[in-house]
Amino acid sequence: MDRSQMDLSDLAQVRDVVRSVKPDLIINPAAYTAVDKAESEPELAMRINGEAPGVMAEEAKKIGAAMIHYSTDYVFDGSKDTPYLETDRTCPINVYGKTKLAGEQAVQAAGIPHLILRTSWVYGMHGKNFLLTMLRLAQERDELRIVADQHGSPTWCRTIAEGTAAIVAQINDAQDGRDWLRQHSGIYNLTSQGQTTWYGFTKAILEHANIDKKPRLTPISTQEYPLPATRPAYSVMSGEKFINNFLNLPTWEDALVSCLQNKTFSDNV
């Protein structure tokens, strides 16, 4: 079901769709993801990211359904210097992160079997994302000035899809899928392994992409590139819990190369 069939900003429609479809499992990857724009549209961002997941979860409870919901590394403030665990204290520092945390809490409060998958720095070969922006700018400019003091784990959207598919496969293989979901309910970090900066990510993109003339890369600080939304300086998350329960996860470098070559990681399972 796509956004043309259900507008997440229309909570009544969200409720009606769940009631009419009566799913056994709701998988909700949709979100308001414009991090900077959310600073000027906090009500809309909260309705889509915070309230709509809660409505889905409440309706799921009425029909005995479960839910897989996606969240973000931006629920953390970046004060750590080691990878965040699922149990670490949340403290979002921008509107987007606050709305996503509200969505997590709404799903948890409904008391249904659920998995909340936190991911980070998501990219792919479609839509609007950092990878495609860098590939475009590399063709247009002689120099790219890239922030080098924010640390995270770039995650290919296919890694997220394959991780989700592994979860669904376990549900289907279980003797009692609902009991399996109850036992595995909770938060999991679903990100590529390892860490880098936006500068390091860009450097790797240019190294592995088929670009004839590569621009000069200049590292800069966050202060030199001000944006409406404050970003955490460190938002790396440990994927150990996800790996131990579901699926091996690639390093961010291997995932990037595979994305640019359009390969999958199914051989690494």
Task: Report d(CA 79, CA 176) in Å as an integer.
Answer: 41
Check residue 186 and give left, alpha or beta (phi > 0: left; psi -120 to 50: alpha). left
Q: How far is CA 224 from the centre of its chain?
A: 26
Task: Report d(CA 127, CA 119) in Å as an integer.
Answer: 17
Tokens of 233: 């300086």
Q: Which residues contact 10 (CB under 8 A, 6 or more apart)?
A: none
Tokens of 9: 């900003």
For the question of residue 96 being annotated catalytic, the response is: yes
Predicted confidence at residue 269, as pLDDT, reads 34
Tell me the whole-structure pTM to 2 decimals.
0.94
Which amino acid is located at 192 in the chain?
A: S
β-strand pairing of 151-152 with 196-197:
antiparallel
Q: Which residues contact 201 (CB under 8 A, 6 or more apart)?
A: 121, 130, 134, 154, 252, 256
In this structure, what DSSP letter does residue 234 have? B
10-residue stretch averages of pLDDT, the chain, 269 residues long: 81 96 95 97 98 98 97 98 98 98 98 98 94 94 97 98 97 92 97 98 95 93 97 98 97 97 51
Domains of the chain by start residue, with CATH: 11-268 (3.40.50.720)
* Partners of residue 144 on adjacent β-strands: 217
Q: 3-state class of 13 per DSSP?
A: helix
Predicted confidence at residue 265, as pLDDT, reads 43
Task: Report d(CA 236, CA 238) in Å as an integer.
Answer: 7
Predicted confidence at residue 211, as pLDDT, reads 87
Active-site position among 70, 96, 123, 234: 96
Task: Report d(CA 228, CA 239) in Å as an integer.
Answer: 29
Phi then psi for residue 19, to 5 deg, are -65, -35
Residue with the two structure tokens 């004839």: 212
Task: Report d(CA 59, CA 62) in Å as an integer.
Answer: 5
Predicted confidence at residue 5, as pLDDT, reads 78
Task: Report d(CA 158, CA 122) in Å as an integer.
Answer: 10
